[in-house]
Amino acid sequence: MARRTSRRAARSRAVLCLIGLFVLAGFPAGAQPAAPAVVVNGQPLQLDPPPAFRGGVLLAPLQGLLEPYAATGGWDPLTRTAQVVGPRGSRVVFRAGDRVAVVDGQTRLLPVPPEVAAGKLLVPVEFLFRALGAWVKWEEVSSTLHVASQILRLVLDRAPGGLRVQVEATGPVQVRTAQLSQPDRLVVDLVNAASRIETREVTLGEFGVRRVRVAQFQVKPYVTRVVLDLDAPVDVEVAPSASDVVLWLRPRPGAVASGPSPPAATPMPTSSPEAVATPSPSASPPAPSPALAPSSVSPDAPKILEVTVERQVGRLRVVVQGDRPLHYHARELPDPDRLVLDIPGVFVPVKQELAVGGPVEVVRAAQFQTDPDVARVVVQWQMRTRYEVVLEDGGSRLVVVVDDVPSQPPRGGHVVAIDPGHGGKDPGAIGATGLVEKDVVLDVGLRLRDALRRQGVRAVMTRESDVFVDLADRVPIALRAGATVFVSVHANATTRGVIRGVETYYLKPDSVLLATLIQEELGRSVGIPDRGIRTANFKVLRDSPIPAVLVEVGYLTNLEDEALLRTPAFRQRVAEAIGRGVVRFISQVPALQP
């Protein structure tokens, strides 16, 4: 017996040796995984201490991160706080050991808290630059976090004797210009800039500029290219600043422009803001500008006669009336969340903007493009809800039917607002193996909505897709929908990976019972540790005039919790448990309107 065991052990050692030889043959001697690096606006950063991961989140010293992005800030070891100011005035405040940061006056949960090493504050790099409006992308192969400024929009204005082109960016960009011939065009390369501009082309026809085109020309480094197709040579002057760049274009002496020069300092016709760009949620919205229109329109040209909003019980209708059959292309866009309808072959004589209310904040109609004509109708959501697009009257009437519009606040019945945390550009916490909080909580929130509706409870969502909703907007969205109960869904994170379990937070006395009943159901149903109810000064709890709780459905930084949260079955158990707690609450507490 002992002899057989010895031979078996010898064979095992031989197999292990062979495996070791194959492994060594497959990798160069001394090869190590690449150390994480940070590149900001094309500049590799030399940081001390070097960037390192904590709980799956990249931390780096604040000192050395900011200058390439033209941001400023400092660390105060006495108060253990740091304040960062971005090129466009965004303000971020960190406190060592605190998982809550303040971004432009709003509290935001951090994936991991900042920490101090060698007298320097280490901050979550991706969170910081996203808060400043930057484009951030992790490259797995080189273990590098790339950060670039974002181009928000172009503004074209008449100026004395020429054209003023303002490039609005979230951070500094380098500008390279070149004039090319056959055909004549001016090429403007914005280096270290990622484009967020949706419209790729705008027809102009003034100052010798026939057309303006925008595209992402390359990455690593990021280059946004603006091409101005010319009818006549121009002189160009560039005036860069910390973020925005201004180009002055003036026809060269003796050059003939394509049309008469309008009076100086008069707003130049441009497309509507939707046609030019998607502004950053943290940026001020652009001022409305006149729609781009052809110089003359035939009386027989196809037209949009009017755009109206009709209110009905339980729904509203956005009606686009044409003078002949219409065709359309529909798509959904984020930040802000909206439905865009492009209608080719027709002209909008007068730009319209209709304030609506309820789930629809505003409806806009404007000329998106000429030559060929394309009209654009935008339905901007205040709260995402069900809708359908239909054609009526032989196709000449295009209608967006929006459902679930409360004609009045419910009487004697509760409306539960479900608030899946984070979303869009804000991922929330990142799990031990990469699971993202915004995805988990959206799925749980949708399952909770369905569970409540199956029990006859009316439920509304602050978001129903992967879109960014500002923290300050979440409670107002719920209240506008008539909510009487507010439930925010999150997944937790900590630097201590052994911590796991579910917990429910409340702040005000009217929310204690709601938190208790939800936590009771979670504790008895989901099979992970019950961490009880707790108090916290979260903004959604502080702002809510109705009973409100924030539920943490597990710890993404714990491998066991994260593995469970990956499964649809566990998410369903969590959603149903929260739903049972909510139903117990509303059966005991009458609905009070805020």
Q: Tell me which amino acid residue 370 is.
A: T
**Alpha-carbon span 280 to 197, nearest angstrom:** 11
Whether the Cβ atoms of residue 46 and residue 64 lie closer than 8 Å to each other: yes
Q: How far is CA 543 from each of CA 331, 467, 486, 504, 578, rounded to the nearest angstrom? A: 33, 21, 11, 17, 22
Q: Can you give the pLDDT of all 594 residues of the chain as single tens digits?
A: 444 444 444 444 444 343 343 333 333 444 455 789 999 999 999 999 999 988 778 999 999 999 999 999 989 988 899 999 999 888 999 999 988 888 888 778 788 899 999 899 999 999 999 999 898 888 877 889 999 999 888 888 777 778 888 888 999 999 998 888 778 888 999 999 988 776 667 777 777 888 888 888 887 788 999 999 888 788 888 876 666 788 888 887 765 544 433 333 322 233 332 333 333 333 333 333 322 333 344 556 788 988 998 877 667 899 999 998 999 999 887 656 789 999 998 988 777 888 776 678 789 888 887 778 888 999 987 666 788 999 998 899 999 998 755 433 333 479 999 999 999 999 999 987 889 999 999 999 999 999 898 888 899 999 999 999 999 999 999 998 889 999 999 999 988 778 899 999 999 989 999 999 999 999 888 989 999 999 999 999 999 999 999 999 999 999 999 999 999 999 999 999 999 999 989 988 887 755
The total number of residues written for the chain in this structure: 594
In degrees, to the nearest 5, what angle opens at C-alpha 412 toward C-alphas 407 and 416?
70
Nearest CA to 149 out of 245, 50, 256, 236 is that of 245
Half-sphere exposure of residue 518: CA atoms within 13 angstroms, side-chain side? 31
Whether the Cβ atoms of residue 400 and residue 318 lie closer than 8 Å to each other: yes
Model pLDDT for residues 268-299, shown as the tens digit of each residue = 233 332 333 333 333 333 333 322 333 344 55
DSSP 430: B
Q: What domains sit in the chain, N to C, each tagged with a CATH number?
A: 37-132 (3.30.457.10), 149-276 (2.60.40.3500), 304-405 (2.60.40.3500), 415-588 (3.40.630.40)
Catalytic residues: 552
Distance of CA 415 to the CA centre of its chain: 27
**Alpha-carbon span 491 to 155, nearest angstrom:** 41
Beta-carbon contacts of 449 under 8 Å, excluding residues fewer than 6 positions away, are: 418, 459, 461
Residue 179 corresponds to which tokens in the numbers above? 């004039």
**Alpha-carbon span 289 to 271, nearest angstrom:** 7
Residue 476 corresponds to which tokens in the numbers above? 């107002």
